[in-house]
Amino acid sequence: MKTFVVLALVIALALGLFACGKQEPEETKRVTLYLPDHDAIDAGGYGFTKKALDLHMPKLVSLQAMDLVANLVHEGALPEGCAALTFYVSISTLDMNAAFADALSRTGTLGETLLLGCLVNTILDFFALDSITIMAEGEVLQTGHEIYDYPLTFYENQN
């Protein structure tokens, strides 16, 4: 009986250490989030402001993209519920959830441009990419204004 108790404690301790050791390592990185520029919108155009942050980012690239999207939601650049599902840096493709596609479909042309611009510019800047394809739930991203079956490039301010 005594051996059983000792063995059970050793197993519990080993499992506890194993679980603690599986945490994703993080590193602090300088991140630039692109947010809607309300002054440009008020002036009849559209644009983006930059907000630089030092964030603890996971080392896995796909998790970094998820964190960037979560921070865009936190800053109000993307609506609540929007999230990245997967990111493949090798093929420059970001798969977003249905909430993102729904949000795009509910906005006008300006809103669609702002949502996509904030997302695209933030991802392109952080990963130093020239273009990115945005998908929704593994499908081509479609709205009432556009079928995004092509790579998107950096959104410049339009005044």
For every residue of 8-21, DSSP letters joined together read: HHHHHHHHHHHHHH
**pLDDT value of residue 2:** 52
CB-based contact 78:69 (threshold 8 Å) = yes
Domain ranges of the chain: 26-148
State which residues of the chain have pLDDT below 70.
1-25
* Sign, Cα dihedral of 94, 99, 100, 102: positive
Q: Is the pTM of this model over 0.75?
A: yes
**pLDDT value of residue 27:** 87
- Going by their DSSP bridges, the two strands 93-96 and 133-136 should be labelled as parallel
CB-based contact 68:76 (threshold 8 Å) = no
